[in-house]
Amino acid sequence: MAVTRRALLNAMARLGGAGAVYETLAVWDFLKPPPALAAAEVTVARRKAIDRLRRDTAFARRHEALAAEAAGRAEAAVNPAHLDDAAVEAAIPDERLKLIFTCCHPALAPEAQIALILRALGGLSTAEIAHAFLTPVPTMNQRLKLAKHKIRSAGIPFQTPTAETRPARLRVVLHVLYLIFNEGYAATTGEALVRQELCAEAIALARVLVELLQDSTGDEPEALGLLALMRLHDSRRAARVDGAGDLVLLEDQDRGQWDAAAIAEGLALLERALRLRQPGPYQLQAAISALHAQARTTAETDWAQIAALYGELERHAPSPVVGLNRAVAVGMAQGPLAGLMWLAQLRLDEALGSYHWYHAARADLLRRAGYADEARAAYGRALALSRNGAERRYLERRVRELSKA
């Protein structure tokens, strides 16, 4: 059965009738019921993850060190290079998830939990983690030190939590996988926009997590929603950069390059999650990504529905970045001036002043509204804050275009 707008409305109604805002919007026309993901694609994805694990000797070292700290003794290290495919598939994913759940022990502060996992498992630098939190690097460095000290002093065991204690840690685990994927999908630093190894790692772990939860407690809607979101986003990977490695915005992408099998799996996972009628932030984001996936062109995108979904997302997980995305969607649905007015009401300068995509989004709205000088200044501010080569080249091109105009 295809996912319908009514399924989401019913789910929202269980949280107090919040879905009423959608009644004036167009019907949600999802793709036809997608075929099951081909077994060959699952095999390819699994083998890519295995190859990644075999190459990632740095992870093996981090895993061994953190396990020793967590348990107060040396655990038997897993060496992917000496395992066959079946052994790697059987041992590594559970060990990596065990490490994640260990770092998500309630004795650690939530932000410290996430930062520690991103450093120990995701291989992100302190600067990259600080960027994800919109936090100064020295502050994040101190949090990491305190978290490691807490693991040692509290004697936190290196183990997967029981079925009774797992739900309390699951929210943080999902957030960590989300951040690892985001860093892979839009790299903070370097010349490449996409770090595919991080995307593949996050997807593989999310898939294992969904399976583990299903086996022990049944389907978990937000875990399904997160995996759906990752697959829908990753479906656009090939179209996000051109032959020179430069950024291609969504509106300019060749949608023929989008991965139809990934989209089909993402929509099927989202439908499976929505049937449980327990909506949450990852399902809402997956629903937004699904609307992009079904649109044949930018003009056909249901921006009004996307803006409304961002409004619901703000209710579930309010943040300055969600507010920014909603303003952009409003600007696409009602015109750039409406988007600028929305941004002005939010007063995001203080919260997102160091976030380059805030300035880039504002610049795009100004450019579309005809304020060339203001747009050029905002693009310049974004350029000064960006540390990714592909993004910088895009921003430089926008500044040049406006200077000529």
Asked if residue 314 belongs to a domain, the reply is: no
Check whether residue 201 and residue 267 sit in a common domain. yes
Residue that finishes a domain, picked among 304, 336, 367: 304
Question: Per residue in 247-288, pLDDT tens?
Answer: 999 999 999 999 999 999 999 999 999 999 999 999 999 999
Q: How far apart are CA 341 and CA 334, in angstroms?
A: 11
Residue-level pLDDT at 131: 74
Check whether residue 204 and residue 65 sit in a common domain. yes
Residue-level pLDDT at 104: 75
| Of 310 and 126, more confident | 310
Question: Per residue in 228-246, pLDDT tens?
Answer: 999 999 999 999 999 888 9
Instruction: Inform me whether the pLDDT recorded for 91 exceeds 70.
Output: no
Check whether residue 297 and residue 325 sit in a common domain. no
How distant, in Å, are the alpha carbons of 140, 291, 295 from that of 229?
27, 12, 16
Question: Per residue in 365-393, pLDDT tens?
Answer: 999 999 999 999 999 999 999 999 999 99
Instruction: Inform me whether the pLDDT recorded for 314 exceeds 70.
Output: yes
Q: Give residue 5's Cα distance to chain centre.
A: 23
Asked if residue 379 belongs to a domain, the reply is: yes
Q: What is the pTM of this model?
A: 0.70
Asked if residue 312 belongs to a domain, the reply is: no
Lowest mean pLDDT among 14-18, 114-118, 135-139, 338-342: 14-18
Asked if residue 313 belongs to a domain, the reply is: no
Asked if residue 403 belongs to a domain, the reply is: yes
Helix axes 110-120 and 85-103, enclosed angle (nearest 10)? 150
Residue that finishes a domain, picked among 304, 333, 348: 304
Asked if residue 309 belongs to a domain, the reply is: no
Q: How far apart are CA 239 and CA 251, in angstroms?
A: 11
Domain span at residue 370 reads 319-405
The count of domains in the chain is 2
Check whether residue 277 and residue 335 sit in a common domain. no
Lowest mean pLDDT among 188-197, 353-362, 364-373, 386-395: 188-197
Instruction: Inform me whether the pLDDT recorded for 77 exceeds 90.
Output: no
Q: How far apart are CA 131 and CA 139, in angstroms?
A: 11
Q: How far apart are CA 152 and CA 324, in angstroms?
A: 40
| pLDDT-based confidence at residue 160 (cuts at 50, 70, 90) | low
| pLDDT-based confidence at residue 355 (cuts at 50, 70, 90) | very high
Asked if residue 358 belongs to a domain, the reply is: yes
Lowest mean pLDDT among 165-179, 211-225, 324-338, 377-391: 165-179
Across all residues in the chain, what is the average pLDDT?
A: 76
Residue-level pLDDT at 132: 66
Q: Which CATH number goes with the domain that contains 380?
A: 1.25.40.10
